[in-house]
Amino acid sequence: MPYSAEISRANPTCFLFLIDQSESMNEPIGGGEVPMQKAEAVSDAVNRLLSELSIKCAKEDGVRDYFHVGVIGYGAKVGPIFDGALTGRDLVPLSEVAAQPARIEQRPRASTRGGTALAVKVPTWFSPVAFGDTPMCAALDLAHDVVGRWLAQHPGAFPPIVLNITDGESTDGNPSSAAESLRALTSTDGNVLLFNLHVSSDQSDPVVFPSMEGTLADDYARLLYRMSSPLPDDMRTAARRHGLTPADGAHGFAFNADISSIVQFLDVGTQVMDLR
Amino acid sequence: MRAFVTTLWVPRAGSSVAQYEDAFYPRSDGARHARRLRFAVADGASESMLSGLWADLLVRTWCKARRRRLPQILELAKGAWEVELAAYLEERDRNERPIQWFEEPGLEKGAFATLLGVAFATDHDHTGGQWEATAVGDSCLFQVRDGELLSAFPIKSSSEFDSTPKLVPSRTCHTDKVLAAADVERGEWHSGDTFFLATDAVAASFLAAYESGSAPWEALAAVGPEAFPAFVASLRNDRSLRNDDVTVMRIEVA
């Protein structure tokens, strides 16, 4: 059965984030209490996810390398966007990610004990950028190279998950065939999973994990839908735990996502079953 | 009563003995004689810090608490946890290994583990008696008599196992919720019965084999600690045992 490989230190999987850094990511996003730029909302959500993954995999003998993770940006440039000691690296074992955030901020948080404000440490690995076009084809091609190389070293892995987060149309051509080539990469446990998350400035309701393209608003949404892999069964189950109701055949795609649906989407996309 | 105890255990494949997060008590195999005897196994949750230590504190506290009930046992174990945690933090400090940002939330939240404890009492005629088992989560007790499975507790079917068992937390004030999550079962033991206390992976495999008409207790009664790693490896190989820490305490009563 595909998508059932054990995820362990001996047999890790990987997550690769592709983040649109084009000019329009400067615009505000819907859904949050405080107005926020799309670029900032996405950067916050992905940095938080890297932090949560590190905490989830931390044991007394260190952070366990169940995952290798990478973040590629596409805008004025296309390439890995880790800052600090990880600059220039694509897929990095989680223990190294945890050990080398670019910055750790101390933010106050409300205390439950006696009103003393305790600090919480907030690590970040990259900063929001919004400048240039939307070279999505080039980003998908780079993802193909990076994931292809990783699969050559990890042929039995739970298939890599690529999460493409964008707010606009590709400016370097139709990304369908680049997406298809990426999804065609396989491990012995199944094809690479490509999920697409469209973030929106408008206030219309998000569509998360649709199962039919006919219900989508326009050609562009339908294109992203077709580019997205169907959700494996375990991820559909995870989505239901988040209160979503993906039908059979639902795709790993969200359209017009607001802040809360970005977080929900990332949680489901990265919630990987049994860690060993 | 007399109980002959053998504990079979092995870490998950790919982990060292130091990374084994199940726990059992008593730690040593062999015969025990007393009117009342207590045994326990526990399974530390993979996604918490120091969960093997917490599992170990739970089984020790359960077994040493004699006639105490679960609420008192939890309070004692939580007290012991704070002492152990302080010692751990001090040791890290002394070894110049400061706590990292990614460890802080887990240490603050505390550790989690399942717990299965059983207490035996002997009748006046010494040919049998009662047992009472308490479980939080999916570590299981099986009672076998004359080649038949007499009791399975708290889980009765292999389909009931999932990845979110009930757990005992080391650091929460909500003891009421833990107590509400606890299952209790009582039964009688006869001389010649065998009890198995098993953590989830092997308990699930045990029940699945039983449901398909096998008598999984036969192999577990025959295998010794030395042959157990190879026994587990072959079950894992043919996918009838999930790769997890494995613990089975075999208790033959007389």
CATH number of the domain encompassing residue B81:
3.60.40.10
Check residue B137 and give its pLDDT: 95
Q: Tens digit of pLDDT per residue, chain A (276 long)?
A: 889 888 888 889 999 999 999 999 999 887 667 778 999 999 999 999 999 999 989 998 899 999 999 999 999 999 999 999 999 999 999 999 999 999 999 888 765 555 555 678 899 999 999 999 999 999 999 999 999 999 999 999 999 999 999 998 899 999 999 999 999 999 999 999 999 999 887 777 888 899 998 888 888 889 999 999 999 988 888 888 888 888 889 999 998 887 777 777 777 766 655 555
Check residue B184 and give its pLDDT: 96
CB contact under 8 A, B243 and A6: yes
Query: Is residue A118 a contact partner of residue A110, using CB atoms and an 8 Å limit?
Result: no
- Please identify among residues 77-96 of chain B the ones whose CB lies closer than 8 Å to any CB of chain A: 88
In this predicted model, which residue has the larger pLDDT, B193 or A34? Answer: B193
Residue B191: which of B23, B3, B35 has the closest Cα? Answer: B3
Contacts of A79 (CB under 8 A, 6+ apart): A72, A73, A88, A142
Q: Which of A58, A98, A276 sits opposite B12 (nearest CB)?
A: A276
Q: Which of B18, B46, B106 sits opposite A275 (nearest CB)?
A: B46
Q: Is A50 helix (H, G, I), strand (E, B) or coil?
A: helix
CB contact under 8 A, B14 and A273: no
Q: A11, A48, A59, A107: best mutation site toward chain B, by most B Cβ within 10 Å?
A: A59
Instruction: Measure the CA–CA gap between B102 and A95, rounded to whole angstroms.
Output: 10
Q: How many CB atoms lie within 10 A of CB A119?
A: 10
Average pLDDT over residues B96-122: 94
Strands (E), chain A: 13-20, 58-59, 62-63, 67-74, 78-80, 92-93, 103-109, 118-124, 161-166, 186-187, 190-191, 193-199, 207-208, 253-257
Average pLDDT over residues B64-75: 88
Q: How many CB atoms lie within 10 A of CB B19?
A: 16
**Range in A186-195, A230-239, B76-85, B202-211 with the lowest mean pLDDT:** A230-239
Average pLDDT over residues B87-106: 94
Helix locations, chain B, DSSP H = 51-64, 70-94, 104-109, 175-181, 200-211, 216-222, 228-237
Residues in chain A: 276
Average pLDDT over residues B24-47: 95
Q: How far is B63 from chain A (nearest CA, A)?
A: 26
Average pLDDT over residues B192-204: 97
Instruction: Measure the CA–CA gap between B53 and B20, rounded to whole angstroms.
Output: 10
Share of chain B above pLDDT 90, in %: 87
Average pLDDT over residues B108-123: 95
Check residue A47 and give its pLDDT: 95
CATH T-level assignment (fold) for domain A13-270: Rossmann fold (3.40.50)
CB contact under 8 A, A55 and B102: yes
B28 pLDDT higher than 60: yes
CB contact under 8 A, B163 and A274: yes
The residue whose two tokens read 């008593």 is B26
Instruction: Measure the CA–CA gap between B215 and B219, rounded to whole angstroms.
Output: 8
State the DSSP code for A152: H
CB contact under 8 A, B14 and A274: no
Q: How far is A154 from chain B (nearest CA, A)?
A: 16
CB of B16 less than 8 A from some CB of A: no
Task: Take residue B87 and report the two structure tokens written for it.
Answer: 């010692």
Contacts of B3 (CB under 8 A, 6+ apart): B31, B32, B37, B39, B120, B251, B252, B253, B254
Split at pLDDT 50, 70, 90, the class of B153 is very high
CB contact under 8 A, A59 and B101: no
Q: What total of structural domains would you count in chain B?
A: 1
Query: Is residue A92 a contact partner of residue A39, using CB atoms and an 8 Å limit?
Result: no
Check residue A274 and give its pLDDT: 55
* ipTM of the complex as predicted: 0.88
- Which residues form the domain of B147? 2-253
CB of B236 less than 8 A from some CB of A: no
Query: Is residue A153 a contact partner of residue A13, using CB atoms and an 8 Å limit?
Result: no
Q: Is B40 helix (H, G, I), strand (E, B) or coil?
A: strand
Q: Is B125 helix (H, G, I), strand (E, B) or coil?
A: coil
DSSP bridge pairs for B64:
none
Element housing A150 (H / E): helix A136-153
Check residue A215 and give its pLDDT: 81
Backbone φ and ψ of B130, nearest 5°: -115, 155
Average pLDDT over residues B159-168: 90
Average pLDDT over residues B180-208: 96
Query: Is residue A38 a contact partner of residue A25, using CB atoms and an 8 Å limit?
Result: yes
For chain B, the average pLDDT equals 94
Residues of A whose CB is below 8 A from B242:
274
Q: Where are the domains of chain A?
A: 13-270
